[in-house]
Amino acid sequence: MILSCNNISKTFIDNTVLSKVSFNLEDHEKAAIVGINGAGKTTLLKILVGQMNPDDGIVTLGKDKTFGYLSQVNPVNSENSILNELLSTQNNLIQLEEELSQYETKMNALEGKSLEEAINKYTELSHLFESLGGYVYKSEITGILKGLGFTEDEFEKKVQTLSGGQKTRVALAKILLTKPDLIILDEPTNHLDLNSIKWLENYLLNYNKAVLIVSHDRYFLDRIATKIIEIDLGKSTVFSGNYSDYAYKKEQLRHSELNAYLNQQREIKHQEQVIEKLKSFNREKSIKRAESREKMLNKIEVLDKPTEVKSDMKLTLTPHTVSGKDVLDVKDLSKSFGDHVLFKNVSFEIKRGEHVAIIGDNGTGKTTLLKILNEIIQADSGEFRLGTNVEIGYYDQDHQVLSGEKQLFEEISDDYPYLTNTEIRNVLAAFLFTGDDVFKQINKLSGGERGRLSLAKLMLSNANFLILDEPTNHLDIMSKEILEDALNNYEGTVLYVSHDRYFINRTAGRILELTGNKFVNYIGNYDYYLEKHEDVMKANFGDNSPVQAQTTNTVSESKTDWQTQKEEKARLQKQEKELKKCEAEIEKNEAELKTVEEMLSDPALGTDLPKLQELSKRQAELKDILNKLYEDWELLAN
């Protein structure tokens, strides 16, 4: 075992983020921590690596074990070049290399015993150098940098001049080069393009030591993870398998827990009604029964209501008008910045109802194309035409649709005055803005928060052609699924840029890959793209019309035992009928008993012994009848 996490708890003021979180990580195991934004995943990682102390609990790292930690807050800021920054992780090999070089020079001037001793020492150092990877570390650095998306002409760039995303990639490269016993990564795919993500997946799959990841990239987790650690409402649950295994098991567990919770709530409510009814009979025996039931009810350990996935908001996107069949026609479009050609003479069409994803490496021009279509920048040549009645709704990464001086609530209410306060709060809650968050000023929001607000506004628009640039960035898994469901039910047309392969797989019916300054067309989702990609590349982009993916939608529905349901319904109806009949009998006999007892207390009958005997006999009969009726009612009420 390389890592043990036992009963970790952490509270910030009155907010309990983690409560008795426990899990173990074995050598060579690859695990992922999942949970909604704010669940405490990053807090847990900081506790694991010693950057934050828990309020309670113990973290134990295996003896003599090392770890490397990639945080979301980039730690690399150096005057070194990218290459020299990575070389700094190999100082021991560089020193050995220099020592070997010194021995090579020295041996030329030695002879006899001194030479023999020098040769022996050189051989010893050479074997050590080789065993530590000394003959491959330079090529390994080059391979890792290229794998993470750096080109050779960028190797000499100063680290301090890089963007935040590039610095994060340098930090990740340093961790991979040090080969720790445990790699801990917090959202490692955020700043990687598709090719770099695939490279990292393969690297980690072949890494012969332990890996612990926090990520919202479900496709990545499906490929890497063999264990999922879920943080939900501060508590941890461990699931074996990858993300898809977890999602299935979680849904089954949640369904079971929700049923248990609802059943218990119904039983509690029912028992409360029974107790209230028993007390209303105002008889010693019924009151004792009520008290007994109250004691049993107080001993029940009340279940917490489980988190209901996507329960707060189901987004519905409804185009205000229906566009013509031809939505977008692009002809011979070209764009360059200086000598850097992004794309040249690209042409494609989009029809009404299509959901098209644009993919490609960083810097190939995907976002630029979307800006051209929205007339934010001009193409160098070519043209595009929108179809009849096409109304664009644009989500851009710069969030230019937002008014910085307004509050979130005002931003929505001013643009959509017909929405009620509750409707506005529901929309904002779907994108993780709850409570007083809705009154924050937009210019004080983080980039991720602005992105979520822009997306919320877009979801409310009446557009029939949505153009989205990286819509899932900064969304947690639950919010991504809300958006996926909304897009899949959307009757309009969608064109988007994304690196989220799981999102693409669920929402795209067609993919345009921007590569080699051209668009390559794939009629299918991301799995289909993977299947056909190698053949298309071998053909040097010559085939822009891949074979239509043959998809078979198999709808599997569980059979319902209608006869059993019918019989159960009849039984319940009969029981309800008998219960009402019993209650009527109780009411009738209680009324008669009251009359008999009033007559028995009438002084005028004090000397009428036969009448008193008759009434006393009837009183006893009525009490027996009522006791039996109370028992029958109690059974029928259960």
Instruction: Judge whether residue 541 has pLDDT over 50.
Output: no
Instruction: Judge whether residue 161 has pLDDT over 60.
Output: yes
Same domain, 341 and 473: yes
* Residue 401 near residue 454 (C-beta atoms within 8 A): yes
Domain assignment of residue 236, yes or no: no
Same domain, 384 and 529: yes
Domain assignment of residue 225, yes or no: no
Residue 560 — very low, low, confident or very high, per pLDDT cuts 50/70/90? Answer: very low
* Residue 474 near residue 447 (C-beta atoms within 8 A): yes
- Domain closes at, from 260, 281, 298: 298
CATH code of 491's domain: 3.40.50.300
CA 460 to CA 265: how far, in whole Å?
36
Same domain, 568 and 631: yes
Place of tokens 């039996």: 628
Q: What percent of the chain has pLDDT over 70?
A: 92
Same domain, 485 and 630: no
Q: What is the pLDDT of residue 542?
A: 52
Which DSSP string corresponds to 154-193? GTTSBGGGS-HHHHHHHHHHHHHHH--SEEEEESTTTT--
Instruction: Judge whether residue 547 has pLDDT over 50.
Output: no
In the numeric block, which tokens belong to residue 353? 């109802």
Q: Sign (positive/negative) of CA torsion 387, 393, 395, 396?
A: positive
In the numeric block, which tokens belong to residue 571? 């039984």
Q: Which amino acid is at 292?
A: S
Same domain, 474 and 615: no
Same domain, 369 and 499: yes
Q: What is the pLDDT of residue 546?
A: 33
Half-sphere exposure of residue 515, counting CA atoms within 13 Å on the CB side? 19
| Structural element, H or E, at residue 559 | none
Instruction: Judge whether residue 129 has pLDDT over 90.
Output: no
Of 264-268, 373-377, 598-602, the range with the lowest mean pLDDT is 598-602
* Residue 107 near residue 115 (C-beta atoms within 8 A): yes
Residue 315 — very low, low, confident or very high, per pLDDT cuts 50/70/90? Answer: low
pTM here?
0.70
Which range, 314-318, 408-412, 434-438, has the best average confidence (pLDDT)? 408-412
Q: How far does Cα 148 stand from its chain's mean position?
A: 24
Mean pLDDT of 527-547: 67
By 3-state DSSP, what share of the chain in percent is helix, strand and coil, each rounded to 5? Answer: 50, 20, 30
Q: Is 302 exposed, middle or buried (0-12, 13-18, 19+ CB in 10 A)?
A: exposed
More confident residue, 125 or 455: 125
CA 512 to CA 104: how far, in whole Å?
56
Residue 554 — very low, low, confident or very high, per pLDDT cuts 50/70/90? Answer: very low
Q: What is the pLDDT of residue 430?
A: 75
**Residue 384 lies in domain:** 326-391+462-538
- Domain closes at, from 255, 281, 298: 298
Same domain, 387 and 466: yes
Domain assignment of residue 355, yes or no: yes
Q: What is the pLDDT of residue 307?
A: 64
Instruction: Judge whether residue 9 has pLDDT over 80.
Output: yes
**DSSP 8-state symbol, 121:** H
Same domain, 379 and 264: no
Contacts of 250 by beta carbon, 8 Å cutoff, 6+ apart: 230, 239
Q: Sign (positive/negative) of CA torsion 249, 253, 254, 256?
A: positive
* Residue 32 near residue 227 (C-beta atoms within 8 A): yes
In the numeric block, which tokens belong to residue 339? 């000598």
Q: Is 600 exposed, middle or buried (0-12, 13-18, 19+ CB in 10 A)?
A: middle
Task: Based on DSSP, count helices (H) and strands (E) in the chain, helices before strands.
Answer: 19, 18
Domain assignment of residue 17, yes or no: no
Domain assignment of residue 202, yes or no: no
Of 17-21, 34-38, 227-231, the range with the lowest mean pLDDT is 34-38
Average pLDDT, the chain: 85
Instruction: Judge whether residue 24 has pLDDT over 90.
Output: yes
- How many domains does the chain contain in total? 3
pLDDT digits (tens, 9 = 90+) for 501-514: 999 999 999 999 98
Instruction: Judge whether residue 376 has pLDDT over 80.
Output: yes
Instruction: Judge whether residue 322 has pLDDT over 60.
Output: yes
Which DSSP string corresponds to 265-317? HHHHHHHHHHHHHHHHT--HHHHHHHHHHHHHHHTS-PPPPPP-TT-S-----
Mean pLDDT of 207-222: 94
Domain assignment of residue 30, yes or no: no
Residue 550 — very low, low, confident or very high, per pLDDT cuts 50/70/90? Answer: very low
